[in-house]
Amino acid sequence: MKFEQFNFSNKKAIIRVDFNVPLNDKFEITDDTRIRAAIPTIKKIINDGGSAILMSHLGRPKNGPEDKFSLRYLLSDLSDKLGVTVKFADDCIGNSAVDLAGSLEPGQVLLLENLRFYKEETRGDETFARKLADLADIYVNDAFGTAHRAHASTTIIAQYFKDKMFGYVIEGELSSIDKVLHEANGPFTAIIGGAKVSTKITIIEKLLDKVDHLIIGGGMMFTFAKAQGAEVGSSLIEEDKLDLALKILSLAKEKSVTIHLPSDTKIADAFDNNANTRLCEVKSIDKGWMGLDIGPASIQKFTDIIEMSNTVLWNGPMGVFEMTNFRDGTKAVAEALVNCTVKGGFSLIGGGDSVAAINLFDMSEKVSYVSTGGGALLEYMEGKELPGIAAIRNNQ
């Protein structure tokens, strides 16, 4: 069942949203991307004359309820965004949840307390899932970021509903990723960054069957450089992945994929924003110095490749962009993606750090799609079946 076509009038829908958002020490939301993403789905339900029961996790509470992980801190922001006063149940399956859900009127919204205050959530407990299911008539999964987990609220709960579907977030995620994986217009360029080769190896191998160009940046570039005999100083490397890096380079050659590695880097004498810095070639970094960003020659080369592409996937930063002195490479990639999009290209940003970067530079509205899923995005692109997706796709 397509979400858009369903009429929620006089129905209670329980929606698995992803409100796992960062809070500062005053319990203020510092990045509301995931909440903003869920608003259209919730509004569609209440505008139809239905009511919405929202469930999510926040953080990783270890032993039951912890105040710092309470979803009540999101109430004010959520009410403002929806234009309705959101009700709150201080226990996701307790009496307050049952009573408030039972008395919910059309157009009203109820937020349940953190699902992970119960260990049964992550265990995929059927009794726990059933208690959640009993609160509503319809199940909507709109939490792509948790779709790769077989948790009670993301997967197990679906079996208790005849009417179940994805919300706008997951529909958008799947169509955007499928477009990149199966309908990409060439040239197709993937930009893979971040610290370690080991966390990205499966996605790199998968992409070698799809892309024309593969740009590699971030800390992992030094493992590739060292594998080819470069002196990388104190830069981050994975000694046990040097052979793997060479295998990837060889595999790319076999598949006629051009791999682009940075030629120059901005180095520092400490992992510190105020460290001494200079530019040098990646292959000759002095001892005691470490590469923390790509250099201007690499920025220019990568910009040119991205801007001439018709499809671009970006996963992982080019440097330590959290520090102002080492974000030039990451910002340049973001700007090139915007230019590519303006020219009619399709740009998909995925993975936590890339999303954080595109938001930091205020460019998220200028690219084609920003994924809300980190691990889920990578696993889906690797070809793995996500339990939260299968629970609905295989039973509709």
**Span 266-288, pLDDT tens digits:** 999 999 999 999 999 999 999 99
**Paired tokens of 283:** 């292959």
Q: How confident is the model at residue 300 (pLDDT cuts 50, 70, 90)?
A: very high
Q: Which of 49, 59, 107, 375 is catalytic?
A: 375
Alpha-carbon gap, residue 311 to 80, rounded angstroms = 36
Alpha-carbon gap, residue 132 to 136, rounded angstroms = 8
Q: Which of 11, 12, 16, 34 is catalytic?
A: 34
Alpha-carbon gap, residue 261 to 280, rounded angstroms = 14
Residue where the block lists tokens 């050659």: 253
Q: Which of 49, 59, 107, 352 is catalytic?
A: 352
Q: Give the pairing of strands 277-281 and 264-268.
A: antiparallel
The four Cα atoms 323, 328, 334, 339 give a dihedral, to 10 degrees, of: 160
In what helix (H) or strand (E) does residue 359 lie, and over which residues does it extend?
helix 352-360
When the pLDDT of each residue in the chain is averaged and rounded to a whole number, the result is 93
User: What are the residues whose beta carbons fall under 8 Å from the beta carbon of 4, sequence distance 6 or more?
Assistant: 44
Task: Locate CATH 3.40.50.1260 in the chain.
Answer: 12-170, 184-381
Q: Give the pairing of strands 188-192 and 138-141.
A: unpaired
Q: Residues 148, 153, 155, CA angle at the centre, nearest 5°?
A: 50
CATH fold, domain 184-381, is Rossmann fold (3.40.50)
CA contacts within 13 A on the Cβ side of 42: 27
CA nearest neighbour of 191 among 336, 326, 293, 291 = 336
**Digit-coded pLDDT (tens) for 340-374:** 999 999 999 987 688 889 989 999 899 999 887 77
**Digit-coded pLDDT (tens) for 235-249:** 999 999 999 999 999
Q: Assess whether 196 carries a catalytic annotation.
A: yes
Is the pLDDT reported for residue 85 higher than 90? Answer: yes
Q: What is the pTM of this model?
A: 0.84
Is the pLDDT reported for residue 386 higher than 80? Answer: yes
Q: How confident is the model at residue 129 (pLDDT cuts 50, 70, 90)?
A: very high
Q: Which of 196, 206, 283, 366 is catalytic?
A: 196
Alpha helices in 48-154 (DSSP H): 75-82, 95-102, 119-123, 126-133
Q: Assess whether 34 carries a catalytic annotation.
A: yes
Residue where the block lists tokens 């999101």: 74
Q: How confident is the model at residue 203 (pLDDT cuts 50, 70, 90)?
A: confident
Q: How confident is the model at residue 250 (pLDDT cuts 50, 70, 90)?
A: very high
Q: Assess whether 352 carries a catalytic annotation.
A: yes
Is the pLDDT reported for residue 391 higher than 70? Answer: yes
Q: How confident is the model at residue 198 (pLDDT cuts 50, 70, 90)?
A: confident
Q: How confident is the model at residue 64 (pLDDT cuts 50, 70, 90)?
A: confident
Alpha-carbon gap, residue 277 to 275, rounded angstroms = 6
CATH fold, domain 12-170, is Rossmann fold (3.40.50)
Is the pLDDT reported for residue 375 higher than 80? Answer: no
Q: How confident is the model at residue 30 (pLDDT cuts 50, 70, 90)?
A: confident
CA nearest neighbour of 299 among 332, 272, 251 = 332
